[in-house]
Chains A and B, each alone.
Chain A
């Protein structure tokens, strides 16, 4: 199998395959047609299976973070903040933007509740999202607590939230993500770990949906407060105040597609609230459990290596027994694709190391066709120039 002639031809065919795969891969951002192919492939990221299966049926909760459903009016939100603050939480993150002044009574109550509370972290919208477009700040940012705020925009990998930016530079200012700001105040050590990673984008290593955290609805907050059940729950914990529902029907406000989305559904509905995504990011930062992503170059190198071995084997089969049947080739190709996907998924499971799949997949899919074309060209060259090839027979 490993004779020099076979290796030489496998290298040539592999190089052509990977070049064409690279061409298709980089075309996607320029041409609508290719973009749609890529979109479909990315929309169904194989690594999502990992998140769907990893925490299936897990009843374990992250008790460092508690979710509290936010009230509808500013006066009631102020009351919620006052209640929460009574139990000395470490941080209270408010996942809502109070953009404009509304009624004087509500605004004034809200301002009273947040003044001199250094453990509050507010949210604003940076406006990097195409749908939003503009920066949205709280109406009190300049007067009360500017430094304890972070942006709540997500990176939408088409429509599934898989990554997030811990920091973003805009107009010469370094902006902190809402979660980065909370981490900075809650655990400077863990924040530094995040900061020194210097990644513009981080993969969100999801650990679960709403059931992963203790969620308290707005009515429950009042009841638990009256029954004095919140002391142990809130004391020295991170409280995220934002909109979510514990049980269906889910209101589509601030609801996103996550990798945990159930693939059994033919039409997928958004499944995770923004506040739960923030909680997942915080769990990841505090556990230091970051996922790593391989560069595109690494992905192409892996593709090259795999395709080389595969094509070498195919050339060897030809040189030994002539052309194998087409069905046999397809079966081998399918098995190789499944094995490679399984292998890469296991690598992610064990090392949290994610390889961009598209270069590998495109290469694996087109390699047999490219080998066929190579065979024709090699035979033609053999006839014309005496080019040495296993396909001369």
Chain B
């Protein structure tokens, strides 16, 4: 009798344990939902329990912090659908900055120095892809990124193909939502001469591309035209602040410029660092990554070829 009771107790305990939740929701940022397979998703809230048979959907710019029974914390922040049963294998997935990328490449250089360009982009582009700010809905606009600051005379606008016939209307609005450019383009890039198109006026503008065929609606994203004097003061000020004696300090200047969305300035400064350090392959590779990140594929390929020629 005692044995039967003991076995029964063990069965009940194991059943109860298997039905206990796997995680609880510690914090929810943005739009995150939970669902069972085939069921309607429910928005996730703090302190809700999560079970192994559920699916979690994390939308763009959202972040979910979960805690398990042992108070281990897990952060999900890449937009995706996660199976709860697979979460144990997940780790935090930080996006790499320029300095981190360079350091990683410097290390990788020792392991496999003879990557070809295609392999290199396959290995690395997906890592940096999510780091670019894009429009909220279709994610088609590549460059200029949201809130870009520039004093360039011409800007090359780039976007992903979203129209099967490759027919687009390219529009730039000023800060009062008035159209200042509206032209038809049969390509996924278009160069705008700022002086002609925007009459040399500084300030905030918005750009958007609409495909000929109906599809997802892209929200216009902003960029800012600044004056050249302001831009010229940036690097000297950062050099004083961070120093420029070594590659690391110089890369930190690129980091700072990139963070502040001075992408063209960062790119030009990056190019001078590369020129000043001939033979530094990891540096060129990190520069290539930087260019790829902002859609400058041709420049990236040319820089890559230089490594191979050397």
Please list the residues of chain A having a beta carbon within 8 angstroms of any beta carbon in chain B.
Answer: 57-61, 63, 211, 214, 220, 223-224, 227, 229, 232-233, 247-252, 264-269
Contact = CB atoms under 8 A, between A and B. Distances in A.
A83 to B, nearest CB: 15
A60 B73 contact: yes
B27 A269 contact: no
Nearest to B90: A59
Contact of B106 (A214, A251, A266): A266
A137 B259 CA distance: 30
A265 B106 contact: yes
Nearest to B255: A249
Contact of B27 (A211, A233, A265, A266): A233
A252 B255 contact: yes
Nearest to B252: A252
Nearest to A251: B259
Interface of B: 26-30, 46-47, 63, 65, 70-74, 91-92, 94-100, 102-104, 106-107, 242, 246-248, 252, 255-256, 258-259
Given A220-B29, A264-B107, A249 B98 contact: yes
Nearest to B109: A266
Contact of B103 (A232, A252, A269): A269
Contact of A251 (B103, B107, B247, B256): B256
Contacts of B26: 214
Contacts of A251: 255-256, 259
A265 B107 contact: yes
Given A57-B91, A61-B73, A249-B98, 4 more contacts: A63-B71, A248-B95, A248-B99, A248-B100
Contacts, number: 78
Contacts of A59: 72-74
Nearest to A266: B106
Nearest to B61: A219
B94 A223 contact: no
A113 B77 CA distance: 33
B97 A252 contact: no
Contacts of A266: 103, 106-107
A269 B100 contact: yes
Nearest to A265: B103
A248 B72 contact: no
B100 A224 contact: no
Contact of B248 (A63, A223, A233, A269): A269
Nearest to B99: A269
B296 to A, nearest CB: 18
Contacts of B92: 211
B96 A248 contact: yes
Which of B29, B95, B246, B259 has its CB near the most chain A CB atoms (within 10 A)?
B29
Contacts of B246: 267
B241 to A, nearest CB: 9
Given A265-B103, A265-B106, A269-B248, A249 B27 contact: no
A337 to B, nearest CB: 25
Which of B27, B28, B65 has its CB near the most chain A CB atoms (within 10 A)?
B27
A59 B99 CA distance: 25
A211 to B, nearest CB: 6
A252 B106 contact: no
B24 to A, nearest CB: 11
Contacts of A229: 27-28, 46
Contacts of B95: 247-248
Contacts of B256: 251-252
Contacts of B255: 249-252
Contacts of A264: 107
B28 A227 contact: yes
Contacts of B70: 60
Contacts of A60: 70-73
Nearest to A58: B72
Which of A58, A59, A264, A269 has its CB near the most chain B CB atoms (within 10 A)?
A59
Contacts of B74: 59
A251 to B, nearest CB: 6
Contacts of A61: 71, 73
Closest 10 CB pairs of A and B: A249-B97, A59-B72, A248-B97, A265-B103, A247-B94, A229-B46, A266-B106, A249-B255, A61-B73, A252-B252
A269 B28 CA distance: 31
B132 to A, nearest CB: 13
A268 to B, nearest CB: 8
A266 B104 CA distance: 9
B46 A249 contact: no
A222 to B, nearest CB: 11
A377 B45 CA distance: 80
Contacts of A63: 71
A233 to B, nearest CB: 7
